[in-house]
């Protein structure tokens, strides 16, 4: 595989020039040098090839290999939908930079043969603490969409959380998965609509409802909006292609229901999708499923969630797709784990790309990690086989880190193995 390192070399040439400049005559020359290094590091490209791309999932070295193929395979509009953050996209960088705030403390001479990665969250047994985060409109990335992902989840034995905005029906996905999935509810504050969503998931046998609480209107996805036409937020200039993958989703159906109720989906989104704790209580008291809140970002809200009888949390900033300039989820994790104090499980997503990322989150108190973009890159690149490839890589990396850290099982991954830098 050939990698084109020219952009990196150019930046490093610039760095050498700047390091020879009067910048180093500052009052704190070493600090200035370090700050400059950090800035340049943020500009380094992902470890994905820009020359010859992989032609098979088996050739992938890391999940970024799938990203490179996905970028080439998808139309500009669909790749923008997958890749973008909001505003200046500082949140995208923050989610990755946050892992640099923590260092791992490996223990040596520990027998790590017979590694056990299994764990259990809310009664669901996981083969490893890595789950598939909910992501809408997956048919935009591959015709089989969520069904291909479900088949990959079955093969790799991973927990799948299905988005309300799925391009495939819940029944199709469960049939492909071979067992129930967790179901994400993104609902307007219209009780008949919410109740229908809950009933559908209950009847399908879903054990857990994941209520997304940070969906309060469309984020300012500038790069994506440049590809859109006026009006409909899902109407991209590649209309013919987009109608086939976006039109069947439940989010689109909700839009049609809002229209039937006499509401303009765009004008009322920020009002009708703004839930409150009373609505959470109503959902909790109505459904037989366990209730998880996705989108918690402060210890104050985590404490309130426990008070309101919520069964679990997913710390999430929506992959930096809703609001810019928020702190990374990995940095928020310790304060939320402290607030919850073991009373309910805490899961986390946004920015996870490596096995070390997963281990760090578990050491900081997370029960499991949800990944999003990596498996979507795999889906766009090679369909089901690509999803399996991306999951296999992250899981293999996680197991390697467990061995290096001297942890035989998930329960042995504790705060003793991580420190702030």
Is the CB of residue 167 less than 8 Å from the CB of residue 141? no
Residues 14-37, buried b or exposed e (16+ Cβ, 10 A)?
Answer: ebeebeeeeeeeeeeeeebbeebe
Return all residues near 304 (Cβ < 8 A) that are at least 6 apart.
277
Q: What is the CB neighbour count within 10 angstroms for residue 87?
A: 14
CA distance 287 to 176: 25
Nearest one of 120, 277, 294, 96 to 189, comparing CA atoms = 277
Nearest one of 166, 96, 76, 138 to 387, comparing CA atoms = 138
- Max Cα separation, the chain? 69
User: Alpha helices of 157-264 — where are they, by DSSP H?
Assistant: 170-177, 191-203, 222-225, 239-246, 250-260
CA distance 186 to 105: 39
CA distance 401 to 404: 5
HSE-up of residue 128 (Cα within 13 Å, Cβ side): 25
Give pairs for 41-46: CB < 8 Å, separation 24+: 42/93, 42/97, 43/11, 44/8, 44/11, 45/7, 45/8
Cα–chain center distance at 321: 10
Residues 371-395, buried b or exposed e (16+ Cβ, 10 A)?
Answer: bbbbbbbbbbbbbbbbbbbbbbbbb
Retrieve residue 100's tokens: 């640099």
Is the CB of residue 101 less than 8 Å from the CB of residue 420? yes
Nearest one of 318, 397, 325 to 357, comparing CA atoms = 397
HSE-up of residue 141 (Cα within 13 Å, Cβ side): 36
88 annotated active-site:
no
CA distance 284 to 295: 17
Rounded alpha-carbon distances, angstroms, from residue 282 to 95, 192, 200, 381: 33, 12, 17, 41
Per annotation, catalytic residue among 78, 142, 318, 404:
318
Residues classed as catalytic:
318
């Amino acid at each position: 595989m050939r990698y084109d390192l020219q952009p990196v070399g150019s930046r490093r040439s610039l760095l050498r020039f700047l390091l020879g400049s009067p910048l180093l005559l500052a009052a704190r020359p070493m600090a200035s040098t370090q700050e400059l290094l950090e800035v340049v590091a943020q500009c380094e490209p992902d470890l994905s090839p820009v020359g010859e791309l992989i032609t098979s999932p088996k050739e992938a070295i890391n999940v970024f290999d799938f990203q490179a193929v996905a970028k080439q395979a998808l139309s500009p509009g669909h790749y923008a939908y997958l890749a973008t953050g909001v505003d200046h996209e500082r949140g995208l960088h923050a989610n990755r930079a946050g892992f640099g705030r923590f260092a791992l403390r490996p223990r040596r001479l520990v027998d790590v043969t017979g590694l056990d990665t299994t764990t259990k969250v809310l009664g669901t047994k996981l083969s490893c603490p890595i789950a598939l985060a909910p992501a809408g409109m997956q048919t935009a990335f591959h015709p089989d969409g969520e069904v291909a992902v479900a088949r990959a989840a079955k093969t790799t034995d991973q927990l799948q959380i299905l988005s309300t905005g799925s391009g495939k029906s819940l029944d199709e996905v469960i049939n492909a998965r071979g067992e129930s999935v967790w179901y994400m509810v993104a609902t307007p504050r219209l009780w008949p609509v919410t109740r229908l969503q809950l009933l559908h998931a209950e009847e399908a046998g879903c054990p857990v409802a994941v209520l997304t609480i940070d969906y309060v209107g469309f984020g300012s996805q500038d790069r994506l909006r440049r590809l859109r036409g006026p009006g409909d937020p899902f109407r991209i200039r590649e209309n013919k292609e987009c109608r086939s993958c976006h039109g069947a989703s439940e989010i689109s159906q909700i839009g049609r229901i809002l229209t039937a109720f006499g509401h303009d989906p765009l004008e009322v989104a920020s009002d009708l999708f703004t839930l409150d704790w009373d609505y959470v209580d109503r959902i909790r008291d109505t459904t037989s499923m366990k209730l998880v809140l996705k989108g918690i970002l402060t210890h104050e809200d985590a404490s309130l969630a426990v008070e309101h009888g919520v069964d679990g949390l997913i710390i999430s900033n929506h992959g930096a797709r809703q609001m810019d300039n928020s702190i990374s989820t990995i940095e928020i994790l310790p304060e939320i784990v402290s607030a919850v104090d073991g009373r309910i499980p805490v899961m986390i997503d946004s920015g996870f790309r490596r096995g070390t990322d997963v281990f760090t989150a578990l050491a900081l108190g997370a029960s499991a990690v949800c990944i999003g973009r990596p498996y979507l890159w795999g889906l766009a690149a090679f369909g089901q086989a690509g999803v399996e490839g991306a999951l296999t890589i992250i899981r293999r990396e996680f197991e390697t880190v467990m061995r290096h850290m001297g942890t035989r099982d998930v329960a042995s991954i504790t705060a003793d193995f991580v420190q702030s830098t």
